[in-house]
Structure 1
Amino acid sequence: MSKIEIKQLTFGYDTQGTLLFDQANLNFDTQWKLGLIGRNGRGKTTLLKILQNQLAYSGQISHQLEFLYFPQPIKDKHQLTYYVLQEISDFDQWEIERELNLLHVDPEILWREFATLSGGEQTKVLLALLFIDDHYFPLIDEPTNHLDINGRKQVAEYLRKKRQGYIVVSHDRSFVDEVVDHVLSIEKSQLELYQGNFSIYEKQKKIKDEFEVAQNEKLKKEVSRLKKTAAEKAEWSRSKEQDKYGKASEKGSGAIYDTGFIGARAARTMKRAKTIEQRMETQVAEKASLLKDIEYIDPLTMNYQPCHHKRLLTVENLTLTYQEQALFKEISFEVSQGQRIALTGLNGSGKSSIIQFLLGQFTGEAEGEILGPKNLKISYVRQNYEDNQGTLLDFSEEHGLDHQEFLNNLHKLGMEREVFLNRIEQMSMGQRKKVELAKSLAQPAELYIWDEPLNYLDVFNQEQLEEMILSLKPTMVLVEHDQAFLEKIATKVIPLSKNNKQN
């Protein structure tokens, strides 16, 4: 058993002008299965790079085990998978085969060209490599992006059974729930460690936030009361001081006044007013220390325009074939006003192909019929959006968007305003995903077709989408592997498989 200790960690990128970490301290056991969470741009991947000594920082990091990062860089994807893995780490063949079997992967995959493997297969073989040698501490960055629901369950089972500890970054809440026993949250002002899985973290975080909000309201009322009391006492003291000098001037007329008593009382009152002011300053300081780590999530807007048609699409007896291979058994389904239809199934089962068919973009052979109103306004979120480019203004003009609405949603999704000046092709993949999503939200549409909308989005973005969808109830067809998201927003699930049976 060993420890990883972080002392007085301070780091910030020169271009940002603010610190991501400021005198941060952390101490955790290498047997912990630690989930690293936080908003996009808060520093999750940066922290993993710092642990690997890839970025210059101030502070001290102590550890006995060497760190091993996932996904590992691949030099030549056109080699056999076995030799690709050998270039990353030295191992015996039986060791990698053992790990692949635990991941429900046929070891014969080692003798296929790495570039020909699906995204899910590549993910699994690289994960298998992480756990061959227990002299390393794995840093697992977004392992679920290319995994279908079944693949995520297999990887979760694999990680859950490991005795080794690790750090894992993932925005799939169900996945994180299953594979971690501690959560490290990168808050706005600090690193906060929680014991338990993601659900326990959410409950503890909610209790903490609610306490701080209640305490803040209590202190606001107390500060207001103290301000009023201090002002009244100060005013009384000033008026009595004026009375004292006024009465003293009347002594020559023979009147008798105890100006000493008045002065002493006014002084005591002024002293009490000063004490109240000091208490007030303390309360204000306490109030300022609250609410620093509460995430304020602004609601998204969607240019949904419900049409007068009760039924938007009818798909009858559909089969899709690609390169003479049937993707799934014949299916039929309807999309009615306000429904959110989720297509689920293993990678390669034809989910994205159905979306392409609905959009008239499928390049294989199709049998069946699709019925619906003409000129249906559809907004589409694509899996692949690397062709988005140019400035945000040019992009919104090209797609006929309300530019202000487009920018507002980008900012609500967590994109910093200084990023608005960057060209889209120069943005990170997460930022480019937000451009694709904000485009869809700004387009006037009667039907939204979204293909894996949650990739690269953090938990807070997912909650924004859930709240918006449940509030507006738009008509949607979507493909998504995040089970928690589908359970909340889908009104009907259509599973695809070789032995497909409709719900």
Structure 2
Amino acid sequence: MALLSVNSLDMGFGEDDLFLNMSFEIQPGDRIGLIGVNGSGKTTLFKLLVGDYKPNKGTISLGKGTTIGYMEQHVCRNLDRSAYNEVVSVFSHLSDIEMELDTLNAQISAGIGDTNKLVERQAMLHDEFTREGGLTYRSRARSALLGLGFDDSRMSLPVGSLSGGQRAKLQLAKLLLCGAKLLLLDEPTNHLDVQAVEWLEEYLLNSNSSYIVISHDRYFLDRVTNKTFDLEHKRLTMYKGNYSTYLPQKQERELTKQREYDNTMREIHRLEGIIEQQKRWNREKNIKTAESKQKVIDRLQKNLEKPENAPGEINFTLSANERSGDDVLLVENLAVGFDGNTIFENVNMDIKRGERVFLIGPNGCGKTSLLKTLMKLYEAQSGRITLGEGVKIGYYDQIQQNVDSNKTIFDEISDKYPAMTNTEIRNTLARFMFKGEDVFKYVSDLSGGERARVLLTELMLSGANFLLLDEPTNHLDISSCEALQTALMNYEGTLLAVSHDRYLINSLADRIYYLTDRGVEEFRGSYDEFMEKTHKDEVIQKPKQKQESENKLDYKNKKERDAQRRKAKADLNRLEAKITEIEESISELEEQLQAPETASDYELATKLSEELQAKNDELEQYMDKWAKLSEIVESAES
């Protein structure tokens, strides 16, 4: 049975239609990626599905028992509540049951009220509490926060002290834990580092919920989706498979439509020639033939659908005006820090002409600072940076400070490239989707995506032979990411890029440098190969030590950790066996309490209730121990 059905949906604002005659169904197990250029109506569709907007036409029907979870429904409004309690609030129903169970236990123990009714209510609530995950909801909330990058100290902070990005993570955690059968995820990887994104991928893959996800992260879409909805030209087209599977399907579909159109037009032109010939002969038989052929043309034209041009996409190339020497960049024992605090040290890099190198690492490790130091915008604490002969750098700043907010787009390009004519500037900007009066927009009024396109325009015009790119796909929609990737693949210069875009890294990387506070570790190959070498989620903590004594110490520490891990796992197994034993005892006591003979025996009912309470208390203590020990085992194994 479908979780949700959409039939003949039309939506627009004023005279502008966003989409027309949209119909689809969501089935259990569907994991759908929603693709479309900015402004195509993706977020509007989400707001329609949750009832925030009303469609101009059509119907939206929820299946029986279907609940929809949407991130906007989980805004953090209590700014004094801790981050942990904010996430736990999504389980308010369970915490209410917990409180009532405590009250019932106290009443039964004190002999207040009708014990039979109290015990019956207690048993019913306990079943509901257990069935709906009451025994694990606190540990699940904590696990979600850990996965999204919150440590224990941050979990205790009040919501009001958190950044916008951290609050967005809380909203995401609440959405994931809300228990909805259908999740609507709008750019869920925003504000997440790579480790948190990988945690989210695993969570979604193991989730029982169906979902629709809007994302410009192509690697993420490849991992977590099994269908793709393409919203283009006001129509929704459905494809089987993830993002990479969808691309060739879409291309083949468009080629087929173009062939059908071309073949039909050839047939129409052929028939028109026959009609013209028959009319020249102008006999009765000829006129009837012409009329017959015209009916065929009318029928063909009635069903003829002309393929539409692709929506506006940037289209550009990157080229170097001059060739650099073979040695492009040499970094020796570089250390960078501020106010006496070192961010990283012992960084050594050697980049040759034509290489495509990516710099990755956890948030805050200093990747942007390293690029700015190479650009001489920051001063190094120690070490040496050597640029090769004939190297000309082109820099893309993720903070977008390289453009003047007080200028128009046209003036920004004109002032930096005064040799260009007005026509050349307009033609160049048109390739980045700035057409007509758009070129006279002030930079201060542009969105993040529009500012990114201005920066890419300047990068293209620079003719640099060594590109330093800091998160270049941030703010870009998927089609723009594809265009940038194509331009970089055809670029004959040298590339050093900081990026969290794993799809881009996979497609381009010759080498990867992983940055930590102690230096960089070099890996040859793609992102997938990097992950294989580092055993998926394992992150390199420090470079290999040369001293034999330190190697022995590492070996000793490893042996101790392994022993601790084995002991913790053995303790965990014993705990799980004990918990199972207690749960069986609880089940037996509950059965005895519900037996007819017990209902008529007050003393027996009271005794069994006390035993049940004692067993529940014992179970809670063991569950607390289990949760703590599970975290120790998981930490040791990771």
> TM-score band, normalised by the shorter chain?
0.7 to 0.9
Q: Return closer, same or farther for 1:339/1:128 CA change in 2, 3 Å cut-off.
A: same
Q: Return closer, same or farther for 1:99/1:147 CA change in 2, 3 Å cut-off.
A: closer
Query: Distance between the aligned counterparts of 2:180 and 2:29, measured in 1?
Result: 12
1:31-70 paired onto structure 2 within 5 Å: 31-59=29-57, 60-63=59-62, 64-69=66-71
Query: Which residue number in structure 2 is paired with residue 340 of structure 1?
Result: 356
Q: Return closer, same or farther for 1:207/1:73 CA change in 2, 3 Å cut-off.
A: same
Cα distance, 1:221 vs structure 2: 2.8
Whether the aligned pair in 1 keeps the contact of 2:86 and 2:170 (CA below 8 Å) is no
Query: Which residue number in structure 2 is paired with residue 434 of structure 1?
Result: 453
Query: Which residue number in structure 2 is paired with residue 9 of structure 1?
Result: 9
TM-score (ref. length: structure 1): 0.81
TM-score (ref. length: structure 2): 0.65
**What whole-Å deviation, never above 9, does each CA across 1:158-214 have from its counterpart, x for those lacking one?**
111111122211112121111122222102141122233223322322221221122
Whether the aligned pair in 2 keeps the contact of 1:406 and 1:442 (CA below 8 Å) is no
Query: Distance between the aligned counterparts of 2:368 and 2:27, measured in 1?
Result: 42
Cα distance, 1:273 vs structure 2: 2.2
Match of 2:382 among 356, 367, 375: 367
Higher relative contact order (CA 8 A, sep 6+): 1
Query: Which residue number in structure 2 is paired with residue 450 of structure 1?
Result: 469
Which structure features the higher share of helix residues? 2
**What whole-Å deviation, never above 9, does each CA across 1:364-415 have from its counterpart, x for those lacking one?**
x532111126895433222112775242223323433756556545544456
Q: Return closer, same or farther for 1:204/1:375 CA change in 2, 3 Å cut-off.
A: closer
1:289-438 paired onto structure 2 within 5 Å: 289-292=305-308, 299-302=315-318, 304-322=320-338, 326-328=342-344, 330-362=346-378, 365-372=380-387, 377-385=392-400, 388-389=404-405, 390-400=407-417, 402=420, 407-408=426-427, 410-414=429-433, 419-438=438-457
**What whole-Å deviation, never above 9, does each CA across 1:209-241 have from its counterpart, x for those lacking one?**
221122233223323322333322322x23xxx
> Is the counterpart of residue 208 in structure 1 residue 253 in structure 2?
yes
Query: Which residue number in structure 1 is paired with residue 235 of structure 2?
Result: 190
1:468-479 paired onto structure 2 within 5 Å: 468-479=487-498
Structure 2 letter corresponding to 1:486: I
Query: Distance between the aligned counterparts of 2:294 and 2:140, measured in 1?
Result: 70
Greater shift in the superposed pair: 331-340 or 394-403: 394-403
Query: Which residue number in structure 1 is paired with residue 109 of structure 2?
Result: none
Query: Distance between the aligned counterparts of 1:384 and 1:121, measured in 2?
Result: 19
Query: Which residue number in structure 2 is paired with residue 261 of structure 1?
Result: none
Query: Distance between the aligned counterparts of 1:354 and 1:174, measured in 2?
Result: 26
Structure 2 letter corresponding to 1:211: T
2:233 is paired with a residue whose SS is coil
Q: Return closer, same or farther for 1:42/1:420 CA change in 2, 3 Å cut-off.
A: farther
Query: Which residue number in structure 2 is paired with residue 257 of structure 1?
Result: none
Whether the aligned pair in 1 keeps the contact of 2:336 and 2:343 (CA below 8 Å) is yes
Cα distance, 1:355 vs structure 2: 0.7
Structure 2 letter corresponding to 1:3: L
Q: Return closer, same or farther for 1:431/1:44 CA change in 2, 3 Å cut-off.
A: farther
Structure 1 letter corresponding to 2:387: G
Cα distance, 1:54 vs structure 2: 3.6
Task: Among all aligned residue pairs of Structure 1 and Structure 2, give the percentage whose two residues are the same amino acid.
Answer: 25
Cα distance, 1:357 vs structure 2: 0.7
Structure 2 letter corresponding to 1:368: G
Query: Distance between the aligned counterparts of 1:96 and 1:268, measured in 2?
Result: 83
Structure 2 letter corresponding to 1:174: Y
Query: Distance between the aligned counterparts of 1:77 and 1:310, measured in 2?
Result: 56
Aligned-pair Cα RMSD in Å? 3.4
Structure 1 letter corresponding to 2:386: L
Query: Distance between the aligned counterparts of 1:425 and 1:86, measured in 2?
Result: 40
Q: Return closer, same or farther for 1:491/1:71 CA change in 2, 3 Å cut-off.
A: farther
Structure 2 letter corresponding to 1:380: Y
Cα distance, 1:135 vs structure 2: 3.8
Query: Which stretches in structure 2 are left out of the alignment for 5+ residues?
Result: 96-137, 524-638
Whether the aligned pair in 2 keeps the contact of 1:356 and 1:362 (CA below 8 Å) is yes
Query: Which residue number in structure 1 is paired with residue 485 of structure 2?
Result: 466
1:271 is paired with a residue whose SS is helix
Greater shift in the superposed pair: 408-417 or 429-438: 408-417
Match of 1:160 among 205, 218, 231: 205
